Amino acid sequence: MTDGIRGRAHVYGDNIDTDRIIPGKYTKTLDVQSLAEHVLEDLDPAFRTRLQQGDVLVAGNNFGCGSSREQAPVALQAAGVAAVIARYFARIFFRNAINIGLPVLEIPDHDIAQGDELEVDLVSGTVRNCTSGKVYQANPLPEVMLRILQSGGLVNYLRTNKTF
Amino acid sequence: MGNMTIAEKILFQKTGRKVRPGDIVIAPVDGVMATDTTAPGALKAFEKMGGQRVWAPEKCALVIDHAAPAPNERVANLHRLMRDFSREQGIRLFEIGEGICHQVMVEQGYVRPGYLFIGADSHTPTYGALNAFACGVGSTDLAAVLLTGQIWLKTPATLRIRCHGQLRTDASPKDLILFLTGKVGISGATYMSVEFEGEVFRNMSLAGRLCVANMTAEMGAKTGFVHPEGLQLPYPFEPVEPDASASYAQTIEVDIGNLPPQIAAPESPDNVHDIDRYLGTPVHYGFIGTCGNGRLEDLRAAARILRGKRLAEGVRLVVAPASRSVLLDAMLDGTAHTLVAAGATIITPGCGPCVGSHEGVPADGETVISAANRNFRGRMGNPRAQIFLASPATVAASVVAGCITAPPPNLDH
């Protein structure tokens, strides 16, 4: 887990489903770069070209609803997204992201705008909006999720601990 | 005991601990399943976790259903990965053509009432029709279950939906669950368990119950249960009933006695309306199948309407039976003959074109009328096609007319 994340916000709306994050036709692969090539393509074809390594994806309610495909957070991570912020997440996406070590922060009252410069502190769960000066506090993760995220994901966690 | 919802009761039975909504539990799992979309990633993660042997091969299943048979060499190699792993580990692999994971798990008894079942597919809550606490996860969570036999879960609060009245003869369980999905909304049950109860469920078939529980995934639910009263299974079982004084986060009361056929318009399964609003909309392509509506009674409902008729000119119909057993039954009773004679194309039992991987991708600008459960943009492989969701009977009536059409009353049910 990287503690210091600083990047620009790419802001989208509510109910961004996993078909929009990575269409099902591209999911049958273990090649993460091929997933990254198609990330968000049916939602915003220009996203890939605007995205810079370390940027932050920001959304409204229910981000990642629909399919259980872990390829969705994997595609975002492989494309260079450092963290995802939403008012709240669909449950499988939320688990999947933590499990692969992609930080996800639930901030019910954020008002982050397109292009805002954000600083994310994963230890305290705070996000500073360098553009507006506001600071947001994310809902705390359950302890088990925090341990998994701090290990860099569930693979590392279980390789070390063997059990929960 | 005495004040538990179905979800709380099953977690209590598994952990020996009385749980409240929000409590985190680490629970032993009774069964686990992954498909060709999720298994390859899970097997890779299992290996990286240092996994040697799965915790209990007899409780694990792999199903090749999402892109089966393989449409290209990339998918073929992923299927081989699954075959190799299942052979090495002594896990049952359900091959191409055996059917959709959720139908196969039910038919083969991998999931039973009272089980805690984890599936690497978002429609795993389907098994709530059988009174199982069934929950969808992604690949890495699945790998962790293969390794440890356990999962961590947050105890869900429960949304109770009480239905009053019986369905009209032109409405089906699919119309009911579409209506309820529209009412609750695509995130209305996020992180929650859903319990359905009411007289309509008492005489509902297993297929109908599976269709209802299936779409709790479209409400964002973690799991969903149809009240077990009237549930019939081909083996003896102990139903899991909610306690009379169970505590619910919310109860919705719905009168369904005069519910007309329903339709979910693009691009979300909760964009639900009475069918009237879209009557006459031209359609190019009908699809009947999926873990929602690919069962024998669904195919029969379509055949009843298609008997002696032909598809409208310029319209095609793809039918994917939910399992080999469904296909065999449909062959035996003449249903398959009726469908094919009317112009339908029957494809491999499995997920078919639902996920946009193969077997019937719509063209730009086309309109699909589908008995599936999702109509997000690009779902069937083309973001420039639009998808309406409806019952198998509505799909059948629409492909005969060439436009969205309400089905005639079904006096058999």
The answer to whether the CB atoms of A15 and B186 lie below 8 A apart is yes
* Separation in Å, CA of B272 to nearest CA in chain A: 16
With cut-offs at 50, 70 and 90, classify the pLDDT of residue A123: confident
* Separation in Å, CA of B409 to nearest CA in chain A: 32
Q: How far apart are CA B87 and CA B107, in angstroms?
A: 22
Closest CA to B177 of B163, B187, B190: B163
Q: Give pLDDT tens digits along chain B (413 positions).
A: 589 999 999 999 999 999 999 999 999 999 999 999 999 999 999 999 999 999 999 999 999 999 999 999 999 999 999 999 999 999 999 999 999 999 999 999 999 999 999 999 999 999 999 999 999 999 999 999 999 999 999 999 999 999 999 999 999 999 999 999 999 999 999 999 999 999 999 999 999 999 999 999 999 999 999 999 999 999 999 999 999 999 999 999 999 999 999 999 999 999 999 999 999 999 999 999 999 999 999 999 999 999 999 999 999 999 999 999 999 999 999 999 999 999 999 999 999 999 999 999 999 999 999 999 999 999 999 999 999 999 999 999 999 999 999 999 987 65
Q: What is the pLDDT of residue B64?
A: 98
Pairing state between β B316-319 and B285-288? parallel
Which residues, in sequence order, are CB contacts of B129 under 8 Å at separation 6+?
A: B106, B206, B209, B210, B212, B213, B214, B226, B231
Q: What is the pLDDT of residue B10?
A: 98
Query: Which member of B48, B147, B376 has the closest CB to residue A66?
Result: B376
* Separation in Å, CA of B82 to nearest CA in chain A: 13
Yes or no: say if B20 and B246 are a contact pair by the CB < 8 Å rule: no
With cut-offs at 50, 70 and 90, classify the pLDDT of residue A4: confident
* Separation in Å, CA of A131 to nearest CA in chain B: 31
Which residue in A12, A14, A16, A19 has the most chain B C-beta atoms within 10 A of its own C-beta, making it the best mutation to test that interface? Answer: A19
Is B263-401 in the same CATH topology as B7-238? yes
Asked if the C-beta of B52 comes within 8 angstroms of chain A's C-beta atoms, the answer is no
Asked if the C-beta of A77 comes within 8 angstroms of chain B's C-beta atoms, the answer is no
* Separation in Å, CA of A118 to nearest CA in chain B: 27
pLDDT of A32-81, one tens digit each? Answer: 999 999 999 999 999 999 999 999 999 999 999 999 999 999 999 999 99
Asked if the C-beta of B57 comes within 8 angstroms of chain A's C-beta atoms, the answer is no
Query: Which member of A25, A68, A144 has the closest CB to residue B122?
Result: A68
pTM above 0.90, yes or no: yes
Pairing state between β B386-389 and B367-370? parallel
Cα B305–B310–B312 angle (5° rounding)? 105
The answer to whether the CB atoms of B41 and A88 lie below 8 A apart is no
With cut-offs at 50, 70 and 90, classify the pLDDT of residue A23: very high
The answer to whether the CB atoms of B138 and A65 lie below 8 A apart is no
Which residue in B379, B380, B384 has the most chain A C-beta atoms within 10 A of its own C-beta, making it the best mutation to test that interface? Answer: B379
- Side chain identity at residue B230, one-letter code: G
Query: Which member of B49, B136, B355 has the closest CB to residue A158?
Result: B49
CATH of region B263-401: 3.30.499.10
Radius of gyration of chain A (CA): 15
Asked if the C-beta of A88 comes within 8 angstroms of chain B's C-beta atoms, the answer is yes
Backbone angles phi, psi at B276, to 5 degrees: -45, -40
Q: How far apart are CA A122 and CA A134, in angstroms?
A: 17
Q: How far apart are CA B248 and CA A121, in angstroms?
A: 36
Closest CA to B64 of B30, B44, B40, B90: B40
* Separation in Å, CA of B48 to nearest CA in chain A: 6
Yes or no: say if B298 and B371 are a contact pair by the CB < 8 Å rule: yes
Which residues, in sequence order, are CB contacts of B407 under 8 Å at separation 6+?
A: B170, B261, B301, B305, B391, B393, B394, B396, B397
Structural domain boundaries of chain B?
Answer: 7-238, 263-401
- Side chain identity at residue B174, one-letter code: K
Residue B94: in which H helix or E strand, if any? strand B92-94
The answer to whether the CB atoms of A19 and B378 lie below 8 A apart is yes
- Side chain identity at residue A47, one-letter code: F
Closest CA to B269 of B295, B293, B303, B302: B293
Backbone angles phi, psi at B238, to 5 degrees: -100, 110
Q: How many CB atoms lie within 10 A of CB B368?
A: 25
Which residues, in sequence order, are CB contacts of B61 under 8 Å at separation 6+?
A: B31, B32, B33, B34, B91, B92, B93, B94, B101, B104, B105, B108, B110
Give first-to-last CA distance, chain B, whole Å.
38
Cα A126–A132–A134 angle (5° rounding)? 30
Cα A74–A79–A84 angle (5° rounding)? 65
Asked if the C-beta of A27 comes within 8 angstroms of chain B's C-beta atoms, the answer is yes
Residue B147 with chain A: CB contacts under 8 Å: 158
Closest CA to B30 of B87, B113, B128: B113
Q: What is the pLDDT of residue B1?
A: 55
Question: Which chain B residue has the Cα nearest residue A19?
Answer: B379
3-state secondary structure of B246: coil
Beta bridge partners of A6: A119
Assigned architecture for domain B7-238: 2-Layer Sandwich (3.30)
Fold for the domain defined by A4-161: Aconitase; domain 4 (3.20.19)
The answer to whether the CB atoms of B187 and A65 lie below 8 A apart is yes
Q: What is the mean pLDDT of residues A112-130?
A: 96
The percent of residues in chain A predicted with pLDDT above 90, rounded, is 97
Residue A27 with chain B: CB contacts under 8 Å: 37
**How many helices and strands (H and E) does chain A possess?**
7, 7
Q: Which residue has the tokens 């069937």?
A: B380
* Separation in Å, CA of A34 to nearest CA in chain B: 12
Structural domain boundaries of chain A?
Answer: 4-161
Q: Which residue has the tokens 């890779």?
A: B44
How high is the ipTM of this complex?
0.95
Closest CA to B127 of B251, B7, B299, B253: B7
Asked if the C-beta of B24 comes within 8 angstroms of chain A's C-beta atoms, the answer is yes
DSSP B376-410: -TTTTS-TTSEEEE--HHHHHHHHHHTB--PPPP-
Which residues, in sequence order, are CB contacts of A40 under 8 Å at separation 6+?
A: A20, A21, A22, A47, A48
Q: What is the pLDDT of residue B244?
A: 95
Closest CA to B19 of B28, B9, B32: B9
Q: What is the pLDDT of residue A3?
A: 57
Q: How many CB atoms lie within 10 A of CB A151?
A: 17
Cα A109 to the chain's mean position, in Å? Answer: 17
Q: What is the mean pLDDT of residues A14-24?
A: 96
Give the number of residues written for chain A: 164
Query: Which member of A65, A69, A100 has the closest CB to residue B220?
Result: A65
The answer to whether the CB atoms of B140 and A70 lie below 8 A apart is yes
Which tokens belong to B176?
């009911």
Rounded to the nearest 5 percent, the helix, strand and coil shares of chain A are: 30, 20, 50
